[in-house]
Amino acid sequence: MKRTLLTLTLLLALAAGHAQEPLALSRQACRDMALRHSEDLRRADNAVRQAELDKQIAFAAYLPQLDATGTGAYVGDLDMMGMQLQMRGMYMAGIALTQPIYAGGRIRTGNRLAKIGRESRQENRRMTRMQVIADADQAYWSYIAVTWKVRMLEAYKAQMDTLFAQVENSLAAGMATGNDLLRIRTRRSDIHYQWQKARNGANLCRLALCNVLGCPQETQITPTDTTINVPPAGRLDTDIALRPEVRLLHKQVQAAEQQVKMARADLLPTVGLSAGYMYYGNVRLKGMTQDAQGNALPFTQKFSDGLPVVMASVSIPLFRWGSGLKQIKKAKLDVENARLDLQKNTRLLRIEATQAAQNLEDSRLLIETARSGAREADDNLRIQHDRYLNGMATLTDLLNAQAQWQQAQSNLIDAQTQHKMYETEYLRVTGRLE
């Protein structure tokens, strides 16, 4: 019994340790998890399936339709030249096959509209997918930026702890003042405050990333793509032809043009052909007749039979008070509005792409500047620390050098992670984020 309890305890401990193991996550894995989890993307997938069904429904209008009918009726007796026609419980049943011959272009236009709708849904899915990837990248790099700042502040804390110990020893030897120790203690408190804020921010960013990924909130995440390579300067393409928003605007114009044809079809004749078979029964004819001797005798004759039916129908609209022409004019105005939307929004999307390219190029330059500043801050801190130990620099000089080092490291972290975010945004606004 004790051995069993010990085994269960060990298994539970191993399971708990395994559950708390951090999730190592690359940027691509982050994107894949976000795509699998996204409710918006699943809704977009459903919309694409619905559009496929709409296309199939529209195509079915080309095909003949087979219908079955059944009718039962109770009608009072009818007097027919001294005889009674009884239809008490009469019934009719049949099947009919109907084939549209010409519908004024409604069927063809309906299929084109369904095709445009399917293509629009596919572009909408692309747009949703790109947004999910962009949100995942934003959360991923934000989390990396804050975790890097936590580590940088921990290194800064270690520097201050070392300096505090050195000044404390110098104070004991009479080579420093209590004011120096107080200044360092105040700076240590400030750094600890910044470090605690950064840790809280890192936890919030982790929760945001877990939300994007669909992970439990307690999941610990360890990013693995922490090497940021900046490509050399080059001309950035700002063409937006691949962007889903632009293609959706073109589809909107195409759909409006098809609506004009649909409105025009209401003024054209329609032709249909129908063939079927009808069976009727329980119809009786009652009356009087004479035998060979001239005597009157009652008789009843029951009718039940089937007959084939073939019909052709033509419907020609003649006069509707001009409503059809007004519908066409209204549809043409919708086409003009769609083209105006295309013109306006295309111009705005080009501006957005240009801004994204400019942000990406500026961020590359900022990284170069931030790296240069970080190297200079490292050298300055090393020199000031050596000079302070040799009595050639004041404590103020050393503290200022440390503050400059912290700011330079923070600037480099912001520049690098912001560059990756701008890179994702540039690919999104040019329609190439896949």
- Residues 43-55 have a mean pLDDT of 96
176 pLDDT more than 90: no
72 pLDDT more than 70: yes
Long-range contacts of 42-51 (CB under 8 A, 24+ apart): 43/128, 44/121, 44/124, 44/125, 44/128, 44/129, 45/125, 47/121, 47/124, 47/125, 48/118, 48/121, 48/122, 48/125, 50/121, 51/114, 51/117, 51/118, 51/120, 51/121, 51/122
Superfamily classification of domain 23-70+102-269+323-429: Outer membrane efflux proteins (OEP) (1.20.1600.10)
- Residues 84-111 have a mean pLDDT of 89
Q: What is the pTM of this model?
A: 0.85
Asked if residues 239 and 72 have their Cβ atoms less than 8 Å apart, the reply is: no
Q: How confident is the model at residue 303 (pLDDT cuts 50, 70, 90)?
A: confident
When computed from its CA atoms, the radius of gyration of the chain, rounded to whole angstroms, is 41
* Residue pLDDT, tens place only, 195-218: 999 999 999 999 999 999 999 999
Q: What is the pLDDT of residue 89?
A: 83
Q: Which among 320, 310, 188, 221 is positioned nearest to 267, based on CA atoms?
A: 320
Q: What is the pLDDT of residue 121?
A: 97
Q: What is the pLDDT of residue 305?
A: 85
* Residue pLDDT, tens place only, 353-388: 999 999 999 999 999 999 999 999 999 999 999 998
Q: What is the pLDDT of residue 4?
A: 43
H-assigned helices in 173-297: 178-213, 244-265
Q: What is the pLDDT of residue 170?
A: 80
Q: How confident is the model at residue 173 (pLDDT cuts 50, 70, 90)?
A: confident
